[in-house]
């Protein structure tokens, strides 16, 4: 624990400590004293919800108002994104809905249909994929809050990338 968690400072004096009859621990430091009940600190918290915040295709922001052919509703409520064959480079941003100690948050993601395992992303809040083949993918994202609790279940978003005309079954059939 540190100042970011609400302590009066990060440095405490060696012999300035006391336990009250009610079980409260008080520690004295160079910037004052910090008091807490250990049983409250050690309670496991709840997982913070994770949301999708932005979609960029070739570094251009995509919204449901301007591009209904790609996404029909706000990104956080969308179940699927439809991309043309030429739109196979995209970035999806996400965030945990928690304001406590943002530097302690961690994220991980994987694209089902491409990645084989979770990709740790540190505290970076976006995932970028480039040059994807046509097909259907599912992006899975999870986050870990300051208390160390991962979101379960993770959030997911289906991504459909259309094929070029020469990659379609009807073109291949007619070529045969």
Q: Is the pLDDT of residue 171 over 70?
A: no
| E strands in the chain | 12-19, 25-29, 32-36, 50-57, 60-62, 80-83, 90-96, 106-112, 119-120, 126-129, 135-144, 155-161
Helix (H, G, I), strand (E, B) or coil at 51: strand
Which tokens in the block code for residue 68?
């209904």
Q: What is the pLDDT of residue 111?
A: 95
> Token match 């020469």: residue?
166
C-alpha distance from residue 53 to each of 24, 75, 111, 113, 138 (Å) = 41, 7, 17, 22, 17
For residue range 115-169, list pLDDT tens digits in order. Answer: 999 999 999 999 999 988 899 999 999 999 888 889 888 899 999 998 766 666 6
Q: Which of 21-30, 32-41, 73-82, 88-97 is the least confident region?
A: 32-41
Report the b/e string of 41-75 with b at 16+ CB within 10 A. eeeeeebbebbbebbebeeeebeeeebeebbeeeb
């Amino acid at each position: 624990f540190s100042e970011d968690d609400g302590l009066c400072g990060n440095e405490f004096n060696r012999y300035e400590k006391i336990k009250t009859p009610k079980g409260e621990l008080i520690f004295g430091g160079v910037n004052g004293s910090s008091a807490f009940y250990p049983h409250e600190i050690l309670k496991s918290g709840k997982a913070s919800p994770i949301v999708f915040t932005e979609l960029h295709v070739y570094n251009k922001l995509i919204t449901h108002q301007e591009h209904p052919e790609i996404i029909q509703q706000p990104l956080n409520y969308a179940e699927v994104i439809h991309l043309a064959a030429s739109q196979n480079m995209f970035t999806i941003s996400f965030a945990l809905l928690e304001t406590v100690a943002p530097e302690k948050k961690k994220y991980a993601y994987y694209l089902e249909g491409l990645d084989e395992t979770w990709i740790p992303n540190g505290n970076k809040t976006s995932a970028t994929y480039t040059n994807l083949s046509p097909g259907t993918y599912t992006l899975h994202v999870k986050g870990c809050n300051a208390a160390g609790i991962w979101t379960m279940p993770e959030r997911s978003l289906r991504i459909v990338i259309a094929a070029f005309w020469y990659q379609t079954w009807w073109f291949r059939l007619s070529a045969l």
